[in-house]
Amino acid sequence: MSNEWFEGSIHDVILKKLVKHLDERGYLFETFRSDELPADLKPTMNYVSVTEPGIARGPHEHHEQTDIFAFAGPGNFKLKLWDNRSSSPTYRNWMELYAGQDKPMLVVIPPGIVHGYKNISSLERGMVLNFPDKLFMGPGKKELVDEIRHESDQNSPFSME
């Protein structure tokens, strides 16, 4: 089997520009709407992560969980995605994109897509909202975490650099 990866779009990954509605009070974003997500995708929880400048989270992937990330600021991020699903028409494709304060975006990442993001802001902490479709560690936090962590494997083909 080849270990070669190809730059290109990834099947089932959804990218949606977030629209900032600005007035004298400040601004408002709709991060997601159920009528704009796939019918079978139901967010079940929400969390906020704050990432220091120059720090990466991931790369990792999920067996069953879909992540619904909203990059709206503060901060700007570099995201990298790799299609690790052997049944996908874009298997072994990878993509890199930028999102955050300067380019607000919603990114839907299905199971089997290796993903990570890095705060590329020089001084500003970056904030990311996530609306996954699975509860962290399941109901009552009694299950194993649905995650394959690649960032600690020095031989991993997945790197945020």
pLDDT tens digits, one per residue of 16-32: 999 999 999 999 999 99
Sign of the C-alpha dihedral, residues 100, 102, 107, 112?
A: negative
CATH level 3 topology of 6-35+44-136 = Jelly Rolls (2.60.120)
Burial label, 120 (beta-carbon count in 10 A; 0-12, 13-18, 19+): middle
For residue 90, the one-letter residue type is T
Q: Hey, where are the domains in the chain? A: 6-35+44-136
Read off the pTM.
0.94
Residues 6+ apart with CB under 8 A from 95: 7, 8, 9, 10, 13, 80, 81
Quick: pLDDT tens for 77-130: 999 999 999 999 999 999 999 999 999 999 999 999 999 999 999 999 999 999
Instruction: With CA atoms as reference, report the closest residue to 91 among 60, 64, 112, 66.
Output: 112
